[in-house]
Homo-oligomer: A and B are copies of this chain.
Amino acid sequence: MRILREDSSLETFFSPKSVAIIGASEKLRFGYFVTKSILSRTDLRAYPVHISADKVMGVKAYKSVKDIPEVVDLAIFLVPSEAAPTAMLECAEKGIKHVIVLSAGFAEVDEVGKQRQEEIVRIARENGIRVIGPNCVGVTNVSNRFTTAEIDIDSLKEGGVAFIAQSGIFGTVIIDWAAANDFGLSKIVTLGNKCDVDEVDLLNYLEKDDKTRVICLYLEGIKRGRGREFIETFKRVSRNKPILVLKSGRTQAGARAVRSHTGSLAGDDRIFDAVLKQTGALRVDSVEELLDFAKVLATQPLPKNEGIAIITNSGSLAAMTCDELEKLHMKLASFEPQTTEKMKKIAPYWTSIKNPVDIGPAMLQVGSQILEAVLEDKNVGCLLIISSPPGILVKKNGMGLDLVPFYKFYRRIIDKHREKTIIFSSFGDYDTVQAAKEVFEKSGIPVISSVQIAARAIAALYQYKEYLEKSK
């Protein structure tokens, strides 16, 4: 059932110049916000298609896609599944080459739906049409703000992380989370039933997309017969960009759940895991890991050497980090003698200037100088700064300090050493964490709440580095 891949680029899905919305409606129901957002764009020509209305949201409507005065780049299906085969036929007659089927009611539901899906795939294949969906929320391109998802696109920040999911709801939730957390995304795609376009196609596309630095993938199963291409593509793309994979259906209960969810066959997880390792893709265990790892990989260079340094104001958080790092076979750097000498001159006698460097409440006074000493150490390839200052420092009824200028001092030092891998971790008082995000995340230094996830992100960087070195 593979479609002829005449159009090897999927770019048109993300940057169409003309769009037909088949089943556009003014009713506040599924598809309303997609219609509204696309019809209001000034950078593309949008044509609502509606069986009876003359206008949709004030824009001239057409009875059929065939009546539209041009061959549009992209057709979006909002029509019920029973109307989809006819709509696809009309697209084919018109010569349209890209279709996103947002509607549900296909193979995920019953035998009738399955037949309808097979019908649209047959028509698409015979006419060289590429199809995303059905049963999805399609694509979102953060740089040109084009989206077929029901989201507030203007709240999204542009960044280097692409996200591919199967389920529309999950994709939407991730987008909403990103908007709420100022997390930079490049492109988001939900694939739904994957009747045509699948992860392999998207990896091929995103590999060349210069807005994307990291590719995140949520998977429930691999399409039957795509195993070999999956592996080859992962291997090749991994050499250019890191791929993070969150896969469910790892256990019997999980496999049953994905079968009811998207009809996917989860497969044997041990085999999947072993195969994935060979491809250089990095597997994560939770949404939280996925997002934090992506943030690190999208912004940080890979460590130049194996030495990891920690600077902290909290010995407890540093101790937990050391535990996690050692569990993952990571190594703490041994400082050069001159680094220790420099720190001795700066740090109060009651601090600990071994690695982890624990300067406690002296963090604000001498933090930037300590930072400088450690970053100048050639044994240090990666630095984790764990800064969780007490809230009383910044509270109005406390000392009322503004942490931002302090953190800007740190950043000035850090900016001289951007060739090193640098991660910030902050937890606790709301305002102190916000100050860290304000100063560091905005200049491309990831701020991670959990020290364990920060440690695991570091291990992921080293794992990826090893893959790249091996596959040279």
Contacts and interface: CB of A to CB of B under 8 A. Distances in A.
A248 B450 contact: no
Contacts of A271: none
Copies in the complex: 2
B173 A398 contact: no
A28 interface: yes
A166 B30 CA distance: 54
A248 B319 contact: yes
Given A173-B388, A251-B326, A315 B167 contact: yes
Interface string A309-332: 000011111111011011100001
A149 B452 CA distance: 27
Contact of A257 (B28, B105, B322): B322
Interface stretch (A18-26, A48-56, A58-66, A352-360): A352-360
A246 B314 CA distance: 15
A286 interface: yes
A462 to B, nearest CB: 15
Contact of A313 (B169, B248, B257): B169
A428 B257 contact: no
A172 B316 CA distance: 12
Contacts of A395: 152
Contact of A176 (B170, B318, B319, B429): B429
Identify which of A251, A256, A316 gathers the most chain B CB atoms within 10 Å of its CB. A316
Contacts of A109: 349-350
A392 interface: yes
B176 A428 contact: yes
A104 interface: yes
A53 to B, nearest CB: 22
A346 interface: no
B287 A179 contact: no
B254 A322 contact: yes
B250 A286 contact: no
A267 interface: no
A35 B316 CA distance: 26
Contacts of A165: 316
B286 A320 contact: yes
Given A173-B429, A248-B323, 16 more contacts: A109-B349, A167-B316, A169-B313, A169-B360, A170-B314, A172-B392, A173-B428, A176-B390, A176-B432, A177-B427, A250-B327, A251-B322, A251-B323, A251-B327, A254-B323, A261-B319
9 contacts: A104-B350, A152-B398, A172-B390, A173-B429, A179-B429, A220-B319, A250-B323, A257-B319, A257-B322
